[in-house]
Structure 1
Amino acid sequence: MAFTNRIAFITGAARGIGKAMATDIVTAGGSVVIADIDLAAAEGTVRGLPADRALAVECDVSNVTSVEAAVKIAVAAFGGLDVLINNAALHLMTWNRPVTTLTVDEWRQLMDVNVLGIVNCARACRPYLAQRPGAAVLNISSIAGFESYNAYGVSKLAVRGLTTALAKELAEDGIRVNALAPGAIDSENAMDELPSDLLTDLIQVKQLIKRQGTRADLVQAMRFLCSDTGSFITGETLIVGGGHPLRV
């Protein structure tokens, strides 16, 4: 059981990829804090998990006060933190737009959530992670961060940069920091919103593995990077995208 007696704080975990990761961590013996701006949805997710190993907290990652309050509630409930998964983000077609088409306020909103949200959570969780052997942080980037052709891609490129910067900074506390860069994954929102021609091009033309990516694919990668199995890896971004994009 890779997460036995370990506690994970997961942002944006009320649904989609974050929910899949939270569910898997509980299955693997751990406890989870479902930290989400939508408290009602977070509570709904918790109702499907063992009551003594799952907690819902309201958390707006762009707001320092909200993050600090959520982390304090989590630590009071479980006694500490072993894993931070920075999953909350603004994404999909609203933000997959040319950089000059976003207003200044939209840019600030995007960066406040996708970039500064990670900084806020890392800062708040660091003292507690530092107390635990094998502590790990996992940031969720995107293959868009390797093909930064729009505003969303730029924000996810910044996540890759944050991952290396935090890996170096938090190493002194024994905390590893890595990232996942998902490709076409079958989360509910992505399947509802992404145009079918875009998905077909990505899967059938660009990917080397010609199938839809699944949340299970990401969960397995998360297990590897957040458990002791990946204890000699830090500062890396792992693409989970069926062979796209390739890099040397």
Structure 2
Amino acid sequence: MSVKNLGSLAGKVAVVTAATDGIGFAIARRLAQGGASVVVSSRKEANVKRTTESLQSEGLDVIGVKCHVGLEEDRKNLVDETLKKHGAIDILVSNAAVNPFFGNLLDCSGEAWDKIFDINVKSAFLLTKEIVPHMEKRGGGSIVYISSIAGYHAMPGLGPYSISKTALLGLTRAMADECAKYNIRVNCVAPGVIDTKFSSALTENEAVKEKMLDQIPLRRIGVPQEMGGLVAFLCSDEASYITGENITAAGGMESRL
């Protein structure tokens, strides 16, 4: 299939955080394949450079900006550099997340808790706040937060991370209500177990993997490209009447709080 046949995002400018690997990379690539001008970001300059060169070698319209989403100056620079290059922002995909803690929830330190919520939730809100005025000038836009199936089912050992992903579901609903008057749609994607470095502890241990597969009706681990297609749809005009939704892509795993 040609890049042109993947269209419907032509003329759009997209910012994707944590876009140098896994789900973020797949999303950035798919948005660019759909015709969007994409700005990829990550906290490590070398990873940004590698990803930008890789996607540009495919003939895609991509630039990279180093950005630690937890730092105000980096968030502002990401927005400023995007505007300097493209003059507008139509799409924000907030994918950045960390998990510095594994263990019993009650053993989580305040420091680890703060880091998880600063990156996984607070930075998503603050970057949205930074970008919404520019979308308003464009007459609208699309924001997608990347949550997790863990937001519906707290995973063993990942309590704080799971709770932060639940918080994104609420942020989606509240932000969608607030941004509707600007014709800005806000949605959320909750991936299931996807084959990435982030989930390698689950997918590379055969006993753990088998236990996970027992919970997945499709009986397989997802791949990042499947998330890219879903996000591209949500950012397109084909999804123009969809906002405030939390869409689970988890092979049939139950997704109720």
State if a TM-score over 0.5 links the two structures: yes
Please give the per-residue CA displacement for 1:109-167, whole angstroms capped at 9, x wherever unaligned.
11100010101110111111112345100000000000135111101001111111111
- TM-superposed deviation, 1:171: 1.1
Q: How many residues align?
A: 245
Please give the per-residue CA displacement for 1:90-117, whole angstroms capped at 9, x wherever unaligned.
14xx435332221111111111000101
Query: Where do residues 100-119 of structure 1 align in structure 2 (5 Å cutoff)?
Result: 100-119=106-125
Letter in 2 for 1:14: T
**Where does structure 1 lack aligned partners over 5 or more consecutive residues?**
none
Q: Give identity over the alignment, percent.
A: 30
Please give the per-residue CA displacement for 1:202-246, whole angstroms capped at 9, x wherever unaligned.
22x111111121112111211221111111111111110011024
Selected match of 2:41 from 35, 40, 51: 35
Q: Aligned with 2:217: secondary structure?
A: coil
Show the counterpart of 1:226: 235
CA distance in 2, matches of 1:97, 1:238: 28
- TM-superposed deviation, 1:193: 6.1
Please give the per-residue CA displacement for 1:7-26, whole angstroms capped at 9, x wherever unaligned.
11000001111111111111
Q: Aligned with 1:14: secondary structure?
A: coil
Alignment RMSD (CA, Å): 1.8
Show the counterpart of 1:155: 164
1:201 aligns with 2:211: yes
Letter in 2 for 1:64: E
Q: Aligned with 1:213: secondary structure?
A: coil
Letter in 1 for 2:69: V
- TM-superposed deviation, 1:189: 3.3
1:17 aligns with 2:27: no
1:71 aligns with 2:76: no
Contact 1:96 1:152 in 2 (8 A): no
Contact 1:17 1:187 in 2 (8 A): yes
Query: Where do residues 1-248 of structure 1 align in structure 2 (5 Å cutoff)?
Result: 1-50=7-56, 53-91=61-99, 94-148=100-154, 150-191=159-200, 194=203, 195-203=205-213, 205-247=214-256
**Structure 1 moving runs of 4+ over 6 Å:** none
TM-score, length basis structure 2: 0.90
Distance change (3 Å), C-alpha of 1:246 and 1:104: closer
Contact 2:20 2:42 in 1 (8 A): yes
Letter in 2 for 1:196: E
TM-score, length basis structure 1: 0.93
CA distance in 1, matches of 2:120, 2:169: 11
